[in-house]
Amino acid sequence: MNPKTGVCNCDVPNIDVELSFNDSIPYTFTALIDSGCQKTNINADIADIFGIDLTKCPQVKIGGITGSAIGYEFSIDMKLKDFGEKFESPAIFVPNLPVPILLGQSNFFDKFDVKFEKRNNVFELKRIDMDKKSFISLLDKAISSPSMSQKRVKLGENNRKQIRLHKSVNTSTKQRGKFR
């Protein structure tokens, strides 16, 4: 922590995000969850490793509290470990972005409920956009997990309906992360 500013830049809600494009090899980056960001921003250097030519992408003006810049609109595939299948994320690639990724309202907050619990230094994510097929896929993957199996058995014993199971899977995608 910097004693003058009181800033510890590990003190932010970061999460690892796997990016890929056209079924390329995925690469993992840290991403900062930023509810004040209207759209997901990605450092333009990342486009280069996926062979994306930003000069061919539509330009968009980016405004921040300290000025403006030109970014490039492009969609890329995004995946969060333990949160189901990858999803396409429209993003703005911004040169000189200080972080690899800013996860913004569109479309990260469309797909995840985010709960910040600063006093406990945790945040909570819950994926909310999964369709039935994705849930079943996630369930199949999770079934090898003892805790997940246990939940399923318990649900069966109680004769609950699939919608209840659906909710259970949804709960399992909820994770708490530490601010770092």
Partner 1 sequence: MKDKDKTYNFIKEEHIGKWVALSKDKKEVVGYSDSLKDLQQKVGKDAVYTRPLPTDTVFAF
Applying CB under 8 A, which residues contact partner 1?
1-2, 4-5, 7-11, 16, 25-30, 32, 34, 36-37, 43, 45-46, 48-49, 64-66, 98-100, 102, 121, 178-180
Please say which residue, 36 or 146, places its beta carbon nearer to partner 1.
36
Give the nearest distance from C-beta 49 to partner 1 in angstroms: 5
Give the nearest distance from C-beta 91 to partner 1 in angstroms: 14
Give the nearest distance from C-beta 89 to partner 1 in angstroms: 17
Q: Strands 67-79 and 87-94, how do they pair?
A: antiparallel
The count of other CB atoms within 10 Å of the CB of residue 24 is 14
Chain position carrying tokens 């980016």: 62
What whole-number distance in Å separates Cα of residue 113 and Cα of residue 127?
A: 6
Please say which residue, 12 or 142, places its beta carbon nearer to partner 1.
12
Give the nearest distance from C-beta 135 to partner 1 in angstroms: 27
Q: Strands 101-103 and 27-33, how do they pair?
A: parallel
* 35: its two tokens: 């509810």
Cα three-residue angle 162-163-164, rounded to 5 degrees? 85
Please say which residue, 154 or 176, places its beta carbon nearer to partner 1.
176
Eight-state DSSP code of residue 11: -
